[in-house]
Amino acid sequence: KGWKAVEQHMQNEKHKNNLKTLKNNSQLTFSISATTPSTSSTHTIQLVDPNKPLLFDDQVSQVEILWALKSVQNAFSYKNPDEVGELFRTMFSDSKIAQKFSIQHSKMSYVISHGIGPYFRDLLIKGIKNCERFVLCFDEQTNNQNKKQLDLYFRYWSSQKGLVVTRYYRTILLGHAQANVVVDGILGAFCTDGIDISKLLMLSRDNPNVNKTVEKMINDAMKKVHAELLNIGTDNLHVIHNGFKAGTTETNWHVENFCMNIWSWFQKSPAR
């Protein structure tokens, strides 16, 4: 009942007009009516000017977010911010922002997972929706809680970067990793995020001889929307790599040692 009331209020023209005013202006005018029309009044709220500098608390939050992004980029431990706050306060003793900087490992986790994480995931989904085709990479593993989890990645052509990129998509916790459970998790994630399954080009996994049932079931689901996975047989890439390795070993050319010697020559020699 409560949510229905919210939905009805969202459709109200007065609410829509106020929302439009909120987006386009720095003032919001609204009326308050009492029991009698003669006591009704109109009030104006001055909203935050987007061109004004951030408030002090927002500046502190901005710094904490930047540090969270730096931690992700450089693979810092979540335990790292437990000590870096005191370090910043010592190094920048004249900075009020440094004195207020406070982000422990638990807060860091929430900021990354629930704060900035959804923003980057939305960017990823937008990129997937705009690309012509994508490859789904998946892997099952047992986590430290002794539960099966399914990690999903996307590999696709990024028009923004002008190259093929691989991006983490999401992790799905599984009770048991039967094929139908894995497929339901993948298709459910696509449905939730509005990803068109007909754009799926191939499945990528660590071993071509496993999860064949998963591939068949996903291919059957794609056929319902008049699409199909690209079938090029087994994983030829490993066969080519191993064949090349065996060939270079038999020739006694010592290609690997030669490449290592060249690398060492330029890397270890003093600059001139």
Domain ranges of the chain: 2-46, 56-118, 131-223
Please report the pLDDT score of residue 210 as a whole number: 64
Model confidence pLDDT, tens digit, residues 134-160 = 999 988 888 777 778 889 999 999 988
Question: pTM for this structure?
Answer: 0.61
**CA–CA dist 170, 134 (Å, integer):** 15
By the 8 A CB rule, do 89 and 98 touch?
Answer: yes
What are the pLDDT digits (tens) for 38-77? 444 454 555 555 567 778 888 888 888 888 888 888 888 8
Please name which of 149, 76, 68, 71 lies closest in space to residue 115, comparing C-alpha atoms: 68
Question: In Å, what is the CA distance from 106 to each residue of 68, 109, 110?
Answer: 12, 5, 6
